[in-house]
Amino acid sequence: MTDVEKRPAAGGARSDEVRNEAGRRRTFAVISHPDAGKSTLTEALALHAAAINTAGAVHGKAGRRGVTSDWMAMEKDRGISITSAVLKFDYDGHVLNLLDTPGHADFSEDTYRVLEAVDCAIMLLDSAKGLEPQTLKLFDVCRSRHVPVVTFVNKWDRPGREPLELLDEIEQRIGLRPTPLNWPVGIAGDFRGLIERTSGEYTAYTRQPGGAQKALEEVFKDPEEARKREGAAYDAAEEELALLTEIGAVVDMPSFLAGESSPVLFGAALPNFGVRRLLDAMCDLAPAPKPRADVEGDERPVEAPFSGLVFKVQANMDPAHRDRVAFVRVCSGRFERGMVLTHAATGRPFATKYAQAMFGQERETLETAFPGDVIGLVNATALRPGDTLYADQPVSYPPIPSFAPEHFAVVRCRDAGKYKQFRRGIDQLDTEGVVQVLSSDLRGDQAPVLAAVGPLQFDVVMHRLEHEFGAKSELAHLDYELARLTDEAGTEALKGARGAEVLTRRLDGALLALFADKWRLNAIKRDNPSLRLDPLLAGTATE
């Protein structure tokens, strides 16, 4: 045994223990366009891993409960995911950390933060719609972060497109070579079952009433028995499989991990068809946690002393306690509840007495955690997304950038007597990253300017101000579309300029110049060529 293997990691854990535990972890997100079935798939995965007993419904139909990952009141009312959620459960000797993400483009910044915390992603496609705009944008984020992608073609129980057509679209539009693991028998809308490419086994599915329980599976090891059962549909599937073999569309781990190919599986999340196979694939294919690069570009080994990245902050998950939870991805070492860590941004100590494991809105006390796990640190008022925590050996991971806002509005509290609650709510939502809060000398603190990637973020702010902080407010939209970073010289040059304004971004003090449109921006740049007007990270994640 080498000296490195003998050296204890944080909390007294030996390096080999940390490596072994990290090797059991699979931390992944589900990404998709809205309405592709992401929350339904998340629920089905938890059901098949026996983490829940009954799968909920996105809209709570037929008396079924709602899905575990959509716990906010707005999510239940609208049937869409607004904030990301973490579900941790065991499956087949592995520890799975599943992160459900918002699909709507207006909440893409939250999804971006989640993708900073995962090692793999499931790209969910609607069998009828294929690659949709938001799916393309999220895949670009995965590509930029070198996150390998497994593709799951969903809703095969409904009318849709030809499977070979979908594979061709994946390759042509995003340059990702699709390599199917299984193949559907029966066209979309007439789903019979799945053929496993490596073994040739055929699994037929029978839906349970309402889809709240696992579908019944019948496995045929003899192709002739499967052919007798399914007839021409099975013959057609075998012909397509032969074509895939001929063109060499087989799973290749190096190209998958390099982001050049994507294993593809078919199924239907609502009736739970093909979900168990997807779970197995994530255990087999998704990479375990690996060393993470710090701000200097040096990689910190997983067996190094504890370090973690804060990728999300959420307040009032438990309305009875009004707490604030920081979600921390363990990057290295062993975490033990009660450890005193160092907050890299301030150098101050941070106690971890209240550490919890998250399962949607539910949580329980967590004693230990390893690389790949997500820790919920309660009442973490000093933490914000992008912060680093560490033990023993200092480290700072690259910060998580903010997207360029494209929508702006002034918010005011309707009741002057509720101003303290209003300010507390605005400051809280700002530090969570729900919206960017800007201030200006012109309007003062009583009328902050909200800057958002999409207008639905304003709805979340107004709802939470009223229902969580008791400060009902009103919103007035501003006629700006673009934001650029500027400096004091830019502030002076833009004073009184038509269609432009400079505001201070509250938390980091940066000066943001707002413009009515790109033509106004270009005109001002033409008249002031030396003016500093730097772009922010694009909200589309493609620029």
> Which of these, 214, 138, 230, lies nearest to 176 by C-alpha position?
138
Is 477 annotated in a binding site? The answer is no
Is 104 annotated in a binding site? The answer is yes
25-183+251-285 and 292-390 agree in CATH topology = yes
Q: Are 297 and 339 in contact (CB under 8 A)?
A: no
The answer regarding whether domain 25-183+251-285 maps to CATH 3.40.50.300 reads yes
Q: Are 151 and 125 in contact (CB under 8 A)?
A: yes
pLDDT of residue 440: 78
Q: Are 305 and 10 in contact (CB under 8 A)?
A: yes
> Structure tokens of 317?
């998950």
Distances (CA, A) of 297 to 85, 255, 300, 354: 29, 23, 9, 32
pLDDT of residue 143: 87
Q: What angle do CA 510, 516, 520 make, to 5 degrees?
A: 100
CATH of domain 292-390: 3.40.50.300
The answer regarding whether domain 407-535 maps to CATH 3.30.70.3280 reads yes
pLDDT of residue 498: 86
Euclidean distance between the first and the last CA atom of the chain, given in angstroms as a whole number: 48
- The distance from CA 125 to its chain's CA centroid, rounded to whole angstroms, is 16
pLDDT of residue 84: 59
pLDDT of residue 2: 40
pLDDT of residue 345: 92
Q: Are 432 and 314 in contact (CB under 8 A)?
A: yes
pLDDT, tens digit only, all 543 positions of the chain: 344 333 444 444 478 899 999 999 999 999 888 788 888 898 889 888 877 655 444 434 444 444 444 434 444 454 444 455 788 889 999 999 998 776 555 556 777 788 889 999 999 999 999 998 878 878 887 888 889 999 999 999 999 999 999 999 999 999 999 999 999 999 999 999 999 999 999 999 998 876 678 889 999 999 999 999 999 999 999 999 999 999 888 999 999 999 999 999 999 999 999 999 999 999 999 999 999 999 999 999 999 999 999 998 887 666 665 678 899 999 999 999 999 999 999 999 999 998 988 876 677 889 999 999 999 998 788 898 899 999 999 999 998 877 778 889 999 999 989 999 999 888 888 888 788 898 877 777 788 999 888 888 888 889 888 988 899 999 999 999 889 989 888 888 888 788 888 887 766 678 888 999 999 999 998 988 888 888 876 543 333
Q: Checking DSSP bridges between strand 436-439 and strand 348-351, what pairing results, if any?
A: unpaired
> Structure tokens of 159?
């009318």
Q: CA-to-CA distance for 119 and 23, rounded, in angstroms? A: 12
Q: Are 387 and 379 in contact (CB under 8 A)?
A: no
Q: CA-to-CA distance for 366 and 335, rounded, in angstroms? A: 10
> Which of these, 213, 276, 271, 277, lies nearest to 52 by C-alpha position?
213
pLDDT of residue 313: 87
**255: DSSP letter:** H
Q: CA-to-CA distance for 192 and 111, rounded, in angstroms? A: 34
Is 102 annotated in a binding site? The answer is yes
Tokens 């304004």, residue? 501
Q: Are 155 and 268 in contact (CB under 8 A)?
A: yes
> Which of these, 356, 326, 309, 538, lies nearest to 433 by C-alpha position?
326
Q: CA-to-CA distance for 253 and 261, rounded, in angstroms? A: 9
Is 101 annotated in a binding site? The answer is yes
Three-state secondary structure readout of 286-335? CCCCCCEECCCCCEECCCCCCEEEEEEEEECCCCCCCCEEEEEEEEECCE
pLDDT of residue 103: 52
Q: CA-to-CA distance for 130 and 139, rounded, in angstroms? A: 13
Amino acid at 538: A
Is 103 annotated in a binding site? The answer is yes
Domain boundaries defined on the chain: 25-183+251-285, 292-390, 407-535
Q: Let me know how long the chain is.
A: 543
pLDDT of residue 511: 87
